[in-house]
Structure 1
C-alpha cells in the first residue's frame, strides 16, 4: 500500500479534522513548554531545583522541596503515557506525508526515544544523578524540535494540492 503523500488526497472533511487536531494539540504542547519555562527557568539549576528542591539555599526567591516518590512516579507515568499517545498520533500523520524516507523515519521514531530519555532522565536526576540535567535538556529540545517539524510538515501538506 502506498501511503507516501496520502495526506494530500484526503477528503476536505478529514483535512479539516486533522488541521483542527494539530492546532489544538500544538496549543497544548506549547502551553506545556511555557509551564516548564515558568517552573524551571529552562536552566540546569532550575531543573535541579524543581525536582531536588532548594531548601538549603537561604537566598532562594522561591522555596522548592524535593519531589516525593509518589510525585515523581506520577509525573513520569503521566508524561510517558500521554506523550506516547501524542507522538503515536503525530507519527501516524507524518507517515502519510510526502517526505524523504530517512527524515520521515526520524520524525516518527525520535520523539519516542526523547520521551523515555527526558522523563527517565528526570527520574534519574531525582535519584541524585545530577548530570542527567543536561541529558534531559538535550532530549527535551530534540523532542520539541521534532514536534515542531512534524506538525509544520503535516499542516503545510494538508493544504497542498496532490503532487506538489
Structure 2
C-alpha cells in the first residue's frame, strides 16, 4: 500500500485534529526543551552537572547533587516510553507526506534512535562514562531537529491542496 502524499486526501476534520495535535505536541515539546535549558544551560558540562552534581565547584550558581538511582531510572523510563510514542505517532504522520524516500525514512527512524542515545547516554554518563555528555547533547540536537522538521513538513502538507504536488 502506498501512503506517499495521502495526508492531503484526509477529510478536513481529521486534518484539523492533526493540526491541533501538532500545535499542542509542539507546545509540550518546547516546554520540555525550555526546562532542559533551565537545568543544563544546553552545555555538555551543564548536562553532566544536572545528573552528577557540582558539589566540588565552589563558585557554582546553585549547588546540585548526584541524582539517586531511583530518580534516574524514573526519568529514563518515563522519557523513553513517552518519547517513543510521540515519535511513533509523528513518524506515522510523516509516512503520509510526500517526501523523498530517504528523507522520509530518516525522519521516521532517527528520532527513535536519538531517544535511545539521549536517555541511554544519560544513564551511562551517570554511571561514570562522562564522555557520554557529548553523545547526549548531539543526539538531543538531532532529535529536536527531526522533531521540528517533521512537524513543519506534516503541518504544511496537511493544508496543501489535494492537486498540488511537491
Q: What TM-score does the superposition give when structure 2 sets the normalisation length?
A: 0.97
Distance 1:72 1:109 in 2: 25
> How big is the alpha-carbon RMSD for the aligned residues of Structure 1 and Structure 2?
0.6
Distance 1:17 1:158 in 2: 11
SS across alignment from 2:57: coil
Question: 2:162 matched to 1:124?
Answer: no
Aligned partner of 1:104 in structure 2 is: 104
SS across alignment from 1:59: coil
Distance 1:103 1:110 in 2: 10
Between the two proteins, the alignment pairs up a number of residues equal to 164
Aligned ranges for residues 23-42 of structure 1 at < 5 Å? 23-42=23-42
**Structure 1 unaligned spans of 5+:** none
Aligned partner of 1:150 in structure 2 is: 150
Aligned partner of 1:4 in structure 2 is: 4
Aligned partner of 1:54 in structure 2 is: 54
Deviating 4+ runs (over 3 angstroms): none
State the Cα distance separating 1:58 from its structure 2 match: 1.5
State the Cα distance separating 1:163 from its structure 2 match: 3.5
Q: What TM-score does the superposition give when structure 1 sets the normalisation length?
A: 0.98
Distance 1:32 1:96 in 2: 27
Distance 2:61 2:98 in 1: 50
Distance 2:163 2:99 in 1: 12
State the Cα distance separating 1:73 from its structure 2 match: 0.2
Distance 2:83 2:67 in 1: 21
1:38-74: CA deviation from partner (whole Å, max 9, x where unpaired): 0000011111110000111121110100000001000
Distance 1:58 1:18 in 2: 49
Question: 2:86 matched to 1:86?
Answer: yes
